[in-house]
């Protein structure tokens, strides 16, 4: 029988990351179990030894220490053999001067199929997917990019940071934080959910500022 095409499936934000045992350049890993208590960013790329992917791995590696400061690990993935991943990492270090310190999953299609990383119209290569997973193994952010478009690693770093801020301080994060055109580096206070609180929000406060009772903001600290 002819081989059946990979049909993508899409886990949702808020789902537990599926339990997977994977082969990586750092040995076998159990996801998400080996990362309990830490955030991790799992990102797929179409193939080793390709131009855009090389720029992405270089950029991720340049920010590796910044992700580590946020208690966050990086995990790469493509449908390539582990030998290819190892050689590509060596090439990046030897030719571009940047060590790849994070593991790269050598997928045979299982992870890509489970996470919907293969687009039916793009052959067997993975698209540029990003899964941000929290300390409890819960998927918090999912991003998909076409193969032709490289990702912005500063935005992915910002995503991890603001998720942690939102969780810790029970606030929402405005557009373009920390450079919001409306509120600068302030964070958003959750809107009032009762009449009494809404009335209080209209009163002048030293703790926060409001455009209206449903749009209030305050400094992070």
Q: Which residue out of 53, 72, 210, 216 is catalytically annotated?
A: 53
CA distance 18 to 189: 33
CA-to-CA separations, 204 to 147, 170, 212, in angstroms, rounded: 50, 22, 11
Residues in the chain: 221
> What torsion, rounded to 10 degrees, do the Cα atoms 166, 172, 178, 179 define?
170
Burial label for 22, CB within 10 Å (0-12, 13-18, 19+), is: buried
72 is catalytic: no
Q: What angle do CA 201, 180, 129 make, to 5 degrees?
A: 115
Which active-site residues does the annotation give? 53
């Amino acid at each position: 029988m002819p081989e059946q095409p990979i049909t993508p499936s899409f886990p949702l934000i808020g789902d537990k990351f599926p339990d997977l045992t994977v082969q990586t350049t750092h040995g076998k890993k159990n996801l998400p179990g080996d990362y309990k208590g830490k955030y991790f960013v799992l990102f797929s790329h179409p193939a080793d030894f390709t131009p855009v992917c090389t720029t992405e791995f270089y950029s991720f590696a340049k920010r590796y220490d910044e992700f580590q400061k946020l208690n966050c690990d990086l995990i790469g993935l493509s449908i390539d053999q582990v030998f290819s991943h190892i050689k590509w990492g060596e090439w990046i270090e030897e030719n571009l001067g940047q060590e790849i310190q994070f593991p790269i999953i050598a997928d045979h299609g299982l992870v890509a199929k489970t996470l919907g990383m293969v687009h039916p119209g793009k052959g067997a290569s993975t698209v540029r997917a990003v899964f941000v997973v929290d300390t409890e193994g819960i998927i918090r952010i999912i991003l998909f990019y076409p193969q032709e478009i490289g990702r912005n690693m500063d935005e992915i770093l910002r995503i991890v940071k603001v998720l942690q801020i939102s969780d810790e301080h029970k606030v929402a994060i405005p557009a373009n934080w920390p450079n919001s055109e409306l509120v600068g580096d302030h964070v958003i206070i959750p809107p009032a959910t009762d009449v009494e609180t809404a009335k209080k929000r209209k009163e002048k406060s030293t703790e926060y500022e409001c455009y209206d009772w449903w749009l209030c903001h305050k400094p992070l600290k």
